[in-house]
Amino acid sequence: MAQKSRLPASYEVLVLAVLLLPCLVTGVELAINNSSDNQILSTKPGREESLWCTVRNNSRAEELRWYRDSGTVNVKDGNKINTTNICILPVSKTDNGVSFTCKLVRDESIQISVTLDVQFPPLLTGVDPPPVEEKNDVKLTCNVNSNPQAEMAWYKDNSNLTLKKDRYQIYHTSEVFQLTIKKVEKSDNGTYTCEAKSVLGEMRKEFHLTVEDRKPVFPLEAIIAATVVVVLTVTFGIVARREKILKVTKASMNQKTS
């Protein structure tokens, strides 16, 4: 009896699944501004960009949802069914690399994205290093913000920095262009220029390096040894004097009692 009732039940599930499958996602696709491929949108800070997402080949009303990277974007109620648009106003530098994705609410695996490529000329920032003593190392850190990436160079007092000198080290990432000078010499004192060039423009930033005379150094061990000697001398001095003082008082007391 138990077997008989189980069989029709699983048949029902199977039939239901077969009936449901075709109406899930067949043929439905999304497009942004008439393109059904993921896109990269080149733009500039301050611009306004509007994106229209539309469902295609749908047999019924479909709700759409926008994401800014992984976070949902709130849109008005009348801007969700079959077609939805968002406006990025204004585009900012921080939008660079951000993806706007339109998804079918009923099945979020159906989606399409536009990734922003926000292009702007190089911007350099940084602060002068504190004055550095001769023989110490120093870092000049030039922060770079540029898209596309800029070509970078260091100059000293407006002439090319000879990078053959093994005291110079360059550390270069997409965000930082850093010059390290090992064991600075008096002749390293001066003005250094960080330069960035891209197709959209160029910028220079000056860094002033002040090299100071080396201050005389006392080795720590010598200081400790000297301190110990002084402390011991003083301590022994007091102990010796105290014994003397005690003897004197004892002697005078003895005199009084006798």
CB of 146 to ligand NAG, least distance (A): 19
In eight-state DSSP terms, residue 149 is: P
Tell me if 58 contacts ligand NAG by CB under 6 A.
Answer: yes
Stretch that binds ligand NAG, among 11-19, 44-52, 86-94, 232-240 (CB under 6 A): 44-52
Whether the CB-CB separation of 193 and 158 falls below 8 Å is answered with: yes
User: How many of the chain's residues bind ligand NAG (CB under 6 A)?
Assistant: 24
Nearer to ligand NAG, 50 or 149 (CB): 50
Tell me if 33 contacts ligand NAG by CB under 6 A.
Answer: yes
Beta strands of 36-189 (E only): which ranges? 39-43, 49-56, 64-68, 71-73, 83-88, 99-104, 107-118, 120-125, 132-133, 138-147, 151-156, 159-160, 168-172, 176-181
Q: Identify the CA nearest to 83 among candidates 69, 97, 62.
A: 62
Phi, psi (deg, nearest 5) at residue 230:
-60, -50
Whether the CB-CB separation of 102 and 35 falls below 8 Å is answered with: no
Tell me if 228 contacts ligand NAG by CB under 6 A.
Answer: no
Stretch that binds ligand NAG, among 59-67, 104-112, 213-221, 231-239 (CB under 6 A): 59-67
Tell me if 57 contacts ligand NAG by CB under 6 A.
Answer: yes
Nearer to ligand NAG, 24 or 226 (CB): 24
Binding site for ligand NAG (CB under 6 A): 27, 29, 33-34, 41, 49-52, 56-61, 81-82, 159-160, 189-191, 208, 210
